[in-house]
Amino acid sequence: MNTKSNKSGLKNNQYDFAILVDSSCDVPEEYMAKFPIYSVPLRINYKDASYRDRIDILPEEVYKRLNEEIPKTSLPEYSDAKEIFEEIIRDGYKKVISVSISSNLSGTFNLIRLISDEFKEKGIEIYLFDTKNISIGSGLYAISAANHLEEGKNYEETIMSLEQEYGNSKIFFCVETLEYLRKGGRIGRVASMIGAALGIKPVITCGEDGTYCIAGKERGSKKCISKAVTLAKEFASKGNKAEIALMYSGEVLDLEHIKDKIEQLIPKCKIKLVGTISPALGVHVGPGLIGIGVYVMP
């Protein structure tokens, strides 16, 4: 499996700055290839081996193995993160905008902060953006930064734009089962048993403090997804238009139907991408997840 990023066409300071994300931001490969976006991989840890997320192991492989073993997840290795910083410098960039998943859900933000202090001493400018979000809810900020880059905005202008856009991104997850959340310690055994017995499925999002919270509950998967779409519509109404990302874990059979429903209920939206979530999140929620990411546009 490929262990190196391919940025050969993005060297020579073609752009004013580089964008750094962690793999849990779920930025799709097409953006990684088109823009100078570099990803620091979280770790997927099995009893007998540790893998770099989306480099040594792909999401599909993780979900296939869940019946055999539910792996643990951990921060990127210091050496992995440092290597990405060095690659950015080799490619000719001296300015970096780092976009991380919520510091209240992961220590990745603080890890990047510690490493960035070391590279600031080498003359590298680094802006750290704590999204207080997860998955594509974080990744949409990185995509917005890439869009500003494509529009010709410089480092300082893009930072100003991101700060103005803070709070414009939200993600709503529907999980197929509460069992993985229970095993991961996210909910208690009694709550998971009651939820399973009653068929109650939560819509999970991130609150203002960047921690998981329940945005709504419904009985059955279809009603839960409908609730998530309704919540996405309410959030999208805060702006004149919205960009939507539809995410999933494992095999989900009715994605096209869900996509059509979103387009019907949120006519001013643009479904920008459809993709699979990182295993670093997927191992905590299991297969069958549906996530709707919304980025409000002025």
- Give 276's contacts (C-beta < 8 A, 6+ positions apart): 26, 59, 60, 247, 248, 249, 282
Strands in the chain per DSSP E: 18-22, 37-40, 43-45, 50-52, 72-74, 95-100, 125-130, 169-174, 200-206, 212-219, 241-248, 269-276, 290-297
Q: In what order do the strands lie in the sheet with 290-297?
A: 212-219, 200-206, 169-174, 290-297, 241-248, 269-276
The yes-or-no verdict on residue 116 having pLDDT over 90 is yes
Band of the pLDDT at 14, cuts 50, 70, 90? confident
CATH assignment of the domain containing 194: 3.30.1180.10
**145 plus 82 within the same structural domain:** yes
Question: Considering the chain, what is the average pLDDT of its residues?
Answer: 87
* Nearest Cα residue to 170 out of 206, 196, 139, 143: 206
**136 plus 17 within the same structural domain:** yes
**112 plus 253 within the same structural domain:** no
Identify the residue with better confidence: 253 or 184.
253
Q: What pLDDT sits at residue 273?
A: 75
**77 plus 61 within the same structural domain:** yes
**47 plus 118 within the same structural domain:** yes
**116 plus 91 within the same structural domain:** yes
**84 plus 51 within the same structural domain:** yes
Q: Residue 77 carries which DSSP code?
A: P
Q: What pLDDT sits at residue 3?
A: 40
Question: Quick one: average pLDDT of 18-22?
Answer: 97
- Do the domain assignments include residue 284? yes
Band of the pLDDT at 190, cuts 50, 70, 90? very low
**173 plus 147 within the same structural domain:** no
Give the domain extent around 177: 169-297
- Do the domain assignments include residue 122? yes
Of the given ranges (83-92, 147-156, 247-256), which has the lowest mean pLDDT?
247-256
**75 plus 60 within the same structural domain:** yes
Q: What pLDDT sits at residue 197?
A: 54
Question: Quick one: average pLDDT of 17-24?
Answer: 96
Among candidate residues 144, 165, 186, the one where a domain is terminated:
165
Q: Which residues are registered as beta bridge partners of 127?
A: 97
- Do the domain assignments include residue 129? yes
Residue with tokens 């490619």: 91
How many H helices and E strands in the chain? Answer: 11, 13
Q: What pLDDT sits at residue 250?
A: 82
What six digits make up the tokens of 264?
A: 């019907």
**179 plus 157 within the same structural domain:** no
**208 plus 233 within the same structural domain:** yes
User: b or e along 5-27 (b: 16 or more beta carbons within 10 Å of the residue's beta carbon)?
Assistant: bebeebeeeebbbbbbbbbbbbb
What six digits make up the tokens of 165?
A: 């856009």
- Do the domain assignments include residue 14? yes
Q: How far is the C-alpha of 189 from the C-alpha of 183, rounded, in Å?
A: 8
- Give 30's contacts (C-beta < 8 A, 6+ positions apart): 273
- Strand 212-219 relative to strand 200-206: parallel, antiparallel, unpaired? antiparallel
Number of folded domains that form the chain: 2
- Do the domain assignments include residue 3? no
- Do the domain assignments include residue 125? yes
- Do the domain assignments include residue 213? yes
CATH assignment of the domain containing 49: 3.40.50.10170
- Do the domain assignments include residue 2? no
Q: How far is the C-alpha of 60 from the C-alpha of 277, rounded, in Å?
A: 10
Question: Quick one: average pLDDT of 136-152?
Answer: 96
Band of the pLDDT at 272, cuts 50, 70, 90? confident
Among candidate residues 118, 140, 165, the one where a domain is terminated:
165
Rounded to a whole number of angstroms, the CA Rg of the chain reads 19
Band of the pLDDT at 195, cuts 50, 70, 90? low
**26 plus 54 within the same structural domain:** yes
Among candidate residues 136, 165, 194, the one where a domain is terminated:
165
User: Residue 103, class by beta-carbon neighbours within 10 Å (0-12 exposed, 13-18 middle, 19+ buried)?
Assistant: middle
